[in-house]
Amino acid sequence: MNLPNKITVSRILLIPLFLIIMLYDFDWGNMHLLGADLPVTHFVGALIFILASTTDWVDGYFARKYNLVTNMGKFLDPLADKLLVSAALIVLVELGSAPSWIVIIIISREFAVTGLRLLLAGEGEVVAANMLGKIKTWTQIIAISSLLLHNTIFAMIPFRFDMLALWVALFFTIWSGWDYFAKNSHILKNSK
């Protein structure tokens, strides 16, 4: 396993730590951040989520720079993104911070695209994430980070940035899913 793939695996391994911090009842109290109270556990969870999310950029950077792009990496990298984002969104629903119907749409898209990737892999095709998929991932990361931080960073603006970011993420999630299926519809026609 090369360095980019190890970094990708580290993203997956940070998910249980994120879940423990966010869901276990640690009594760490609140902190005052930019004029708002924020549970320390949510701040620490957000830092873990952001750290794990940045490994997406780091593994891609090393894979491209040192020509270490592999089929395993092409498959594992988007899977790690989906696992991290799905875990965070489910936590946000449990905390009452995100509407379940938006989370269901986002996670459903992720399962559908993963299923299509498996069909493609069965035919010997491995498709790396495209730019629209990367935009989708980063809008999801921004939305989730804002929600985990209870919108404290953007508290001074007159609207809920975290919810706007979630709507933007939903838009790119649907668009990128449609684009992925449109570009790879041949596999569905050929697998009848």
Q: Tens digits of per-residue pLDDT, 128-161?
A: 678 998 899 899 999 999 999 988 877 677 788 9
CATH code, domain with 146? 1.20.120.1760
Region 48-68 average pLDDT: 93
**How many Cβ atoms sit within 10 Å of the Cβ of residue 79?**
16
pTM above 0.85, yes or no: yes
What pLDDT does residue 172 have? 98
Confidence band of 89 (pLDDT split at 50, 70, 90) = very high
Give the contacts of 15 (CB within 8 A, at least 6 positions apart). 52, 83, 84, 87
What pLDDT does residue 14 have? 97
On the 0-12 / 13-18 / 19+ scale of CB atoms within 10 A, 180 is buried
Total number of domains in the chain:
1
Q: Tens digits of per-residue pLDDT, 157-187?
A: 778 899 999 999 999 999 999 999 999 988 8
Domain span at residue 168 reads 3-190
**How many Cβ atoms sit within 10 Å of the Cβ of residue 66?**
11
Alpha-helical runs (H) found in the chain: 3-23, 40-65, 71-94, 100-122, 131-148, 161-183, 185-190
